[in-house]
Structure 1
Amino acid sequence: MDPYEVLGVPKDADDATIKKAYRKLARENHPDVNPDPIAQEKFKDVSHAYEILSDPQKRAAYDRGGDGVFGGFGQGFTFTDIMDAFFGQGGGTAQNRGPRPRQRRGQDALIRLDISLAEAAFGVTKELEVDTAIGCVTCQGAGTAPGARPAICETCRGAGEVAQVQRSFLGEIRTLRPCAACKGYGTVIADPCRDCAGEGRVRTHKTLKVAIPPGVDNGTRVHLAEQGEVGVGAGPAGDLYVEIRVEKHDLFTRQGNELHCVVTLPMTAAALGTKLTLPTLESDLESTPEEDRTFALDVRPGTQSGTDHVIKGRGVPGLRGGRGDLIVTVVVETPTKLDEGQEELLQQLAAVRGEQRPVGQLRATKKGVFGRLRDVVAPH
Structure 2
Amino acid sequence: FGGGFGAGAVQGGDVAVAVEISLAEAATGKSVEVDYESVERCERCHGNRAEPGTPIEQCPRCGGSGQLQSMARTAFGQMVRTQACDTCGGTGDRIEKSCTECAGRGVRAQRKTLSVDIPAGIADEQRIRVTGRGHAGERGGPEGDLYVLVRVAEDARFIRDGNDLVSVVDVPAPAAALGTTLSVPTLDGDQDIEVAAGTQPGEVKVLRGQGMPDVRRGRRGDHRVIVNVVIPRKLSRLQRDALEAFQATLTEENLAEAREEGLFAKVRRALR
Tell me the TM-score range normalised by the shorter chain.
0.7 to 0.9
Work out whether 1:259 is the aligned partner of 2:165.
Answer: yes
Other-structure match for 1:115:
21
- Counterpart CA distance in 2 for 1:188 and 1:228 is 27
Work out whether 1:332 is the aligned partner of 2:238.
Answer: no
Deviation at 1:262, TM superposition (A): 0.5
C-alpha contact 1:252 1:260 (8 A) present in aligned 2: yes
- After superposition, where does 1:154-303 map in structure 2 within 5 Å? 154-162=60-68, 178-233=84-139, 235-281=141-187, 292-303=188-199
- Counterpart CA distance in 2 for 1:174 and 1:334 is 82
CA change 1:175–1:337 in 2 (3 A) is closer
State the structure with bigger RCO (CA 8 A, min sep 6), 1 or 2. Answer: 2
Instruction: Using the TM superposition, name which of 254-263 and 341-350 deviates more.
Output: 341-350
CA change 1:192–1:352 in 2 (3 A) is same
- Counterpart CA distance in 1 for 2:59 and 2:49 is 16
CA change 1:119–1:311 in 2 (3 A) is same
CA RMSD of aligned residues (A): 3.1
Which TM-score applies when normalising by structure 1?
Answer: 0.59
Identity, in percent, stands at 37
Instruction: Using the TM superposition, name which of 155-164 and 201-210 deviates more.
Output: 155-164
- Counterpart CA distance in 1 for 2:262 and 2:69 is 85
Residue identity opposite 1:302 in structure 2? G
Other-structure match for 2:248:
351
* Aligned-partner SS, 2:97: coil
Which runs of no fewer than 5 residues in structure 1 stay unpaired?
1-98, 168-172, 282-291, 368-380
* Aligned-partner SS, 2:149: strand
In the alignment, which of 182, 206, 226 is matched to residue 310 of structure 1? 206
Q: CA offsets per residue over residues 32-79 of structure 1, 9 Å max, x none?
A: xxxxxxxxxxxxxxxxxxxxxxxxxxxxxxxxxxxxxxxxxxxxxxxx
C-alpha contact 2:91 2:139 (8 A) present in aligned 1: no
* Aligned-partner SS, 2:144: coil
Deviation at 1:212, TM superposition (A): 0.7
* Aligned-partner SS, 2:194: strand
CA change 1:187–1:275 in 2 (3 A) is same
* Aligned-partner SS, 2:174: helix
- Counterpart CA distance in 2 for 1:349 and 1:166 is 99
- Counterpart CA distance in 1 for 2:80 and 2:112 is 50
Deviation at 1:277, TM superposition (A): 1.8
- Counterpart CA distance in 1 for 2:10 and 2:36 is 21
More helix by share: 1
CA change 1:235–1:200 in 2 (3 A) is farther
**Greater C-alpha Rg:** 1
Which TM-score applies when normalising by structure 2?
Answer: 0.80
Deviation at 1:331, TM superposition (A): 0.7
Deviation at 1:261, TM superposition (A): 0.5
Instruction: Using the TM superposition, name which of 128-137 and 207-216 deviates more.
Output: 128-137
More strand by share: 2
C-alpha contact 1:133 1:202 (8 A) present in aligned 2: yes
- After superposition, where does 1:9-48 map in structure 2 within 5 Å? none
- Counterpart CA distance in 2 for 1:163 and 1:305 is 78
Which runs of no fewer than 5 residues in structure 2 stay unpaired?
1-5, 74-78, 266-272
CA change 1:178–1:278 in 2 (3 A) is closer
Deviation at 1:108, TM superposition (A): 1.8
Deviation at 1:229, TM superposition (A): 1.5
- Counterpart CA distance in 2 for 1:163 and 1:128 is 45
- Counterpart CA distance in 2 for 1:338 and 1:161 is 88
